[in-house]
């Protein structure tokens, strides 16, 4: 098992987002405004879903890594800290998924 965590990746994304867009792909994504990293996140999520449906474990592993990275870039661009997302997940896990969904307001 690796000792690398989502918090480690978040720290790297934050550091690289502060770099020059000429030096960092992360900074280039963030500099493109919210649509650019969001578009990449969507593309990677679709690729992960396709790999899952095809039963491609190695492909799913690689695409899931891309999804996590691009999600953290989207959060960075939107100035939403990973800690806020983790707190929301913690709040939601205090009850069953069915009860949590039932507690949401209709859209």
pLDDT tens figures, 84-107: 999 999 998 987 778 767 877 776
Note the pLDDT tens digit of each residue in 19-70.
999 999 999 999 999 999 999 999 999 999 999 999 999 999 999 999 999 9
Alpha-carbon gap, residue 66 to 51, rounded angstroms: 13
Q: What is the pLDDT of residue 107?
A: 62
pLDDT > 70 fraction of the chain, expressed in percent and rounded: 98
In whole numbers, what is the pLDDT of the chain averaged over residues? Answer: 94
> CA 39, CA 55: separation in Å to the nearest integer?
25
């Amino acid at each position: 098992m690796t000792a690398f965590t989502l918090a480690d990746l978040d720290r790297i994304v934050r550091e690289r987002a502060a770099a020059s867009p000429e030096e960092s792909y992360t900074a280039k994504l963030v500099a493109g405004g919210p649509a650019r990293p969001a578009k990449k996140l969507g593309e990677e999520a679709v690729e992960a879903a396709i790999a899952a449906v095809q039963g491609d474990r190695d492909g799913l592993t690689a695409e899931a890594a891309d999804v996590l990275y691009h999600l953290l870039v989207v959060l960075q661009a939107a100035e939403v800290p990973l800690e806020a997302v983790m707190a929301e997940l913690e709040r939601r896990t205090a009850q069953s998924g069915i009860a949590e969904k039932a507690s949401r307001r209709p859209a």
